[in-house]
Structure 1
Amino acid sequence: MDTRPAHPLQRLFNYARQYRPDVIKATVYSVLNKFFDILPEVLIGVAVDVVVNRQDSFLAKVGIADPKQQIVSLAVLTAVVWIAESLFEYLYNLKWRNLAQNLQHDLRMDAYRHVQQLDMAWFERNRSGNLLSVLNEDINQMERFLNGGANDLIQVFVGTLMVSGVFFALTSSLAVLALLPIPFILYGAFWFQNRLAPRYAAMREAAGALATRLSNNLSGIATVKAYTAEDFEAEHIRQGSDLYRARNAEAIRWSSAITPVIRVAILVGFTITLLYGGFMALNGEIGVGSYSVLVYLTQRLLWPMTRLADMTDLYQRSMASIERVLGLLHTPMEISYAGQALDTASVKGGLEFADVSFSYPGQNRPALSNLTLNIAAGETVAFVGGTGGGKSTLIKLLLRFHDPQQGCIRLDGQAITGLQLQDLRRAMGYVAQDTFLADASVAENIAYGSHDTPRDAVVAAAKAAEAHEFISHLPQGYDTQVGERGMKLSGGQRQRLALARAILKNPPILILDEATSAVDNETEAAIQRSLDRLVVGRTSLIIAHRLSTVRHAHCIHVLEHGRIVESGTHDGLLQRNGVYAALWRLQTGEREGALA
């Protein structure tokens, strides 16, 4: 059985099943346009035959005896041919371009939807800039090929068949000689194409790496400026751009050689027709009109093949891009979205971690090791400890950003791996340390994921998060655009909007991952007041470095190296005088020193 992967063009054709009728229509229009495009050369030969032979011309033999009527008939026929050619050129342009736009849109949306469903481990392995390159430039490259390249390839193939047919109908001996260069031209084009393929693939990879660097630097421009690292980062970009330029230059060296090679082959074919056909006409073996047709058709057949260079270049670039796009689209999902439906209203919020272990790829030490934990419904539980202890990993497993390699996590007694993933996440409200805000209005960000929410509910959530006051002072209030990633707002303002978003969602389970770590004392106090109201009646998991924010939790767990080393209330842990008490003394001592 052949296990070789399908050709990118075949994979694209399989993907675009719904557009096959459009592909067929566009192809028919391209073929008909080429048919009418070749006819004027034949009509020129017939006109020469009329002028030379008059009453003995080809048209006279088909019933038009008067030479003047013959010329008039040719003029009318020429007008019809040109109109038909123009009509089908319009139709194939319309069909191919609309097909390119529709397929581009579908491919981008399908790829993006698929990417959104991939597990977080995939995003950790792949660079965002490379992903953006695939979703933008690679899909645009495919669109450019369908816009013009597909029609060019079809017309070169059809034109070769049609002209060959005319040649053999007029004189088979000359046809064999005139068409002799074509196999060499096609072989040369494919030979160059095979050498261009890996070079264009390398070029697309370099483009993705460059896009990653640009995206990373622009997202961190404040840090770049603060550390006066502009020259350092510019050098990084220069290295990436140089690599891309080098990969491109290597492909250009090969693609630029195609046209000169093809032109030499064309010269051979045209010279054969001019000389051998001329001798045949002088010897009376073919008519002057036939000789004219052969000369013109040789030009029409061979000269467009100089465009094989551009066509091969565009085709190979597109195939490399299509391979990357469809490869992304067919990336397997390691975490399935399927499962048993879960009604959020029925969720009580009881959680159980049973002997859970998890390791990140490439890490020697497990992030969580045989962790067993029960959290009662409605209970507020805090997780504290040093960096790398496993706190955030525990939350990622609960949200199923990853699945544990060992053990099971249950919600109300059901394994979360058996639940529909989106239903599971709808039951949880997540407030992260690094708040994500969409490039939209304040109201749209609060109602993120609940877009049909009435404005009154949005305002009520903002008031509960103590965000209404600062929102009211914004230029357009709740309709103010927050900018990319909320850059027009302060860190504390972004965090309050994230909290308002969780309040509006009203989930049975609340997850707070360092929700107050990056704000000032006044904002922290405001957020803490909101949190105190928000956690009532729901299961709440709080990750915190500031121990003062979790003093009133029902239970505090201290994690070190993926294991729970202490558990208890704030007062109980202080009395134990262990790890938690040492952290508490360290933090309160730092504060006392700062105030002194």
Structure 2
Amino acid sequence: MRILSQITAGFAKALPGIQESRRSFGRLFPYLWHYRRAYSALFMTLLFNVGMTLFSAWMLKHLTDAALNRDTDLIKRILLLGIAVSLLHIILQYIQVLLQNRTVNRIALDLRNDVFAKLMEVKFNFFGTMHTGELVSRVTRDVQQTCGAAGSYLLHLLIMPISIAATFVYLLYIDWRLSLVCLLLAPAAGLAGGVFSLKVRQNNKPMGELFGRMHAFLQDALSGYTVIRSIGLERHMKGKLRTYGEQIIGYEDREARLQGGLYAGSALIGTSSFLVCIGAGSFLVANGSLTVGSLLAFVSLMQVLVSPFSGLASQLGGLQRSLIAADRLWTLMDQPVDEPALTGNDKSAPSSPAIASESVSIRRLTGMIEFDNVSFSYHDGDDNVLRDISFSVPSGHTVALVGPSGAGKTTLFHLTHGFQQPKSGRIFIQGRDLALMERTESQAMFAYVPQETHLFEGTIRDNIALGSLNASNTDIIAAAEAANAAPFINGLPNGYDTDVGENGSSLSGGQRQRIAIARAILKDSPILLLDEATSSLDSEAEFLIRGALRQLMEGRTTLVIAHRLSTIRHADTILVLNQGQIVEQGRHDELLRRNGLYARMYRLQSDDLQWAEGSLIPF
């Protein structure tokens, strides 16, 4: 009774895991159904494999009996039949492997595309909750592991019950007495498999999460190698990676012990079944109720029967690992998206070496940006980081945002660009509510040059072309010339076809910034968002590009974050933010006369005025 209660408790604990597995597989099933014809063909090849196993036992039985009876004609006929069937089996095996790999690879492609597409649509603040390295692990490692549930694990689990049933029926045909004796060993193999499957799921869930954290650490370490070298953190970082590795090894060792116990148990069951069969069968052969060929066929099939039971456990373990990885993917897929979402048009965007953005052609607008009593907080229940913000930017005017660090300038930028949605209040673009506009339409209205420039994998030409995917090579070169990027580009060995490296690592900060400005010039949007857009340029480059930016800004509505107050003296309006509120607004001279926060900030930077007179932003 105690053993029975322990088994019942084990199944009760396993039930939630089984339910989770069903839910995970249910989410994966539509991807499999899309390739149902391929799976039908694969299933037929697997059925032939089962038939081949039974045919081998049949051939062993009849060849042995024919040899003992010295029937050479029968031996020849059986051998010829065996050769023909084996050739067919080889051909089908090739087709099975090819078809299985092609199908699983396409499912992996579909999964990876869908997960990545979801990441391109999730709410903007989601990327602040997960490390980029962990997200990369989800899109790569977890997708690959999930596909195990669509490949060999799934196919073997589908065919194993059929293989077991067909083998047992043939064993009954050979000798029902031996079959019933050996049947008693089957439940032990099935129980071992169930326990193993549960333990593997419990072990692999934390191990998968640990892999994600290790990938995040590696990305941080490799991208921040300059800081590591400058501070002397090499030994510390090596130790940290070693700690991650030892933790992962601990989980892998536990799984190895589980697998070792499973295979040892399977070997015990297999050996026991062999001894029982060969022992009992020998007596039956001795008294003439069983032929030698039948005994050999029975023993060989008995091993085949035990093998699926132990193999079933192993496949269940692999399936659990795949479904745990799938759970992590579904967690991403369930993230809420920004509304309104991208339209279907973005699916036709061309695939380029760099990440492509939708290019939308719109007419030059004559409206304004208007904030109407906007408040914002990053999480429900948190204090607002912006409170009751109201202002308007007439078409063609330039408004500068200034204030101490943490005042809310960048958050206001994100709201203007539609990256975040207000908690209360509304934002209007040319009199239209930004929240009601299609994302592709609002994206086309803005050209954004951030303070920290990001370049994508690919060439200089690829990165500039992201401003307008339909731009000609002439347009790209013209944009580079306007941004004063052409001289240094033409000086590179490969010119516009120079690979920029990871995030532009092969270029200087100023060169990266000028490429970003060229991208904004090429986009030719009616609204410019500049976050200290020329902070990385040296004095000579600032002077040369001043005219290009003045021409670019003319007739456009411009919102600029400025850290050097000397650069915004000629802005039409300056908004001074502090603790999430607009505390002052007006022109430069007006704000200085009020002797408020702006005047204090300006005086603090007065030591820089002598060299800041050649301001880059040409207001």
Other-structure match for 1:320 = 324
1:202 pairs with 2:220: no
Q: Percent identity?
A: 31
1:360 pairs with 2:378: yes
Q: Contact 1:511–1:541 at 8 Å: present in 2 too?
A: yes
Other-structure match for 2:568 = 550
Which residue of 465, 472, 497 maps to 1:447? 465
Other-structure match for 2:35 = 19
Deviation of the 1:406 alpha carbon: 1.0
Q: Residues of 1 paired with 2:504 and 2:207: CA distance?
A: 34
Q: Residues of 1 paired with 2:470 and 2:610: CA distance?
A: 49
Q: Residues of 2 paired with 1:206 and 1:336: CA distance?
A: 35
Moved more, 502-511 or 31-40: 31-40
- Trace 1:174-253 onto structure 2 (pairs within 5 A): 174-253=178-257
Q: Residues of 2 paired with 1:40 and 1:25: CA distance?
A: 23
Deviation of the 1:527 alpha carbon: 4.1
Which residue of 463, 481, 486 maps to 2:481? 463
Q: Residues of 2 paired with 1:506 and 1:467: CA distance?
A: 17
Other-structure match for 1:502 = 520
TM-aligned CA distance change 1:248 to 1:524, over 3 Å:
farther
1:524 pairs with 2:571: no
Q: Residues of 1 paired with 2:557 and 2:599: CA distance?
A: 25
Which residue of 129, 138, 141 maps to 2:142? 138
1:417 pairs with 2:466: no
Q: Residues of 2 paired with 1:256 and 1:372: CA distance?
A: 68
TM-aligned CA distance change 1:586 to 1:593, over 3 Å:
farther
TM-aligned CA distance change 1:401 to 1:556, over 3 Å:
same
Unaligned 5+ segments in structure 1 are: 55-66
The residue type paired with residue 28 of structure 1 is M
Between the two proteins, the alignment pairs up a number of residues equal to 582
Look up the SS of the partner of 2:534 in the other structure: coil
Which residue of 478, 496, 509 maps to 1:478? 496
Other-structure match for 2:397 = 379
Moved more, 206-215 or 337-346: 337-346
Q: Residues of 1 paired with 2:600 and 2:477: CA distance?
A: 42
Q: Residues of 2 paired with 1:22 and 1:215: CA distance?
A: 38
Look up the SS of the partner of 2:120 in the other structure: helix
Q: Residues of 2 paired with 1:308 and 1:340: CA distance?
A: 43
The residue type paired with residue 10 of structure 1 is G
1:569 pairs with 2:573: no
Moved more, 361-370 or 406-415: 361-370
Other-structure match for 2:51 = 35
Look up the SS of the partner of 2:406 in the other structure: coil
RMSD (Å) for aligned C-alpha atoms: 2.5
Deviation of the 1:237 alpha carbon: 2.3
Look up the SS of the partner of 1:345 in the other structure: coil
Which residue of 584, 594, 598 maps to 1:580? 598
Other-structure match for 1:60 = none
The Cα offsets for residues 407-428 of structure 1, whole Å up to 9 and x where unpaired, read as 1111111111111112211110
Unaligned 5+ segments in structure 2 are: 1-15, 346-359, 614-619
TM-score by length of structure 2 reads: 0.89
The Cα offsets for residues 162-197 of structure 1, whole Å up to 9 and x where unpaired, read as 210111112222212213222221221121111211
Other-structure match for 1:536 = 554
Q: Residues of 1 paired with 2:312 and 2:339: CA distance?
A: 45
TM-aligned CA distance change 1:545 to 1:413, over 3 Å:
same
Q: Contact 1:510–1:540 at 8 Å: present in 2 too?
A: yes
Q: Contact 2:186–2:309 at 8 Å: present in 1 too?
A: no
Look up the SS of the partner of 2:35 in the other structure: helix
- Trace 1:218-297 onto structure 2 (pairs within 5 A): 218-297=222-301
The residue type paired with residue 56 of structure 2 is P
Look up the SS of the partner of 1:257 in the other structure: helix
The Cα offsets for residues 476-512 of structure 1, whole Å up to 9 and x where unpaired, read as 1112111111111111111111111101110011000
Deviation of the 1:145 alpha carbon: 5.5
- Trace 1:17-166 onto structure 2 (pairs within 5 A): 17-53=33-69, 67-144=71-148, 146-166=150-170
TM-aligned CA distance change 1:363 to 1:524, over 3 Å:
farther
TM-aligned CA distance change 1:241 to 1:526, over 3 Å:
farther
Q: Residues of 2 paired with 1:223 and 1:335: CA distance?
A: 39
Moved more, 220-229 or 382-391: 220-229
Q: Contact 2:104–2:150 at 8 Å: present in 1 too?
A: yes
Q: Residues of 2 paired with 1:132 and 1:516: CA distance?
A: 31
Other-structure match for 2:353 = none
Q: Contact 2:361–2:444 at 8 Å: present in 1 too?
A: no
Q: Residues of 1 paired with 2:611 and 2:103: CA distance?
A: 69
The residue type paired with residue 326 of structure 2 is I
Other-structure match for 1:560 = 578
The Cα offsets for residues 281-302 of structure 1, whole Å up to 9 and x where unpaired, read as 2222223322221112112322
Look up the SS of the partner of 1:139 in the other structure: helix
Q: Residues of 2 paired with 1:123 and 1:507: CA distance?
A: 26
TM-aligned CA distance change 1:247 to 1:356, over 3 Å:
farther
Q: Residues of 2 paired with 1:189 and 1:47: CA distance?
A: 35
The residue type paired with residue 568 of structure 1 is G
TM-aligned CA distance change 1:127 to 1:29, over 3 Å:
same
TM-aligned CA distance change 1:594 to 1:72, over 3 Å:
closer
Deviation of the 1:53 alpha carbon: 4.5
Q: Residues of 2 paired with 1:369 and 1:235: CA distance?
A: 45
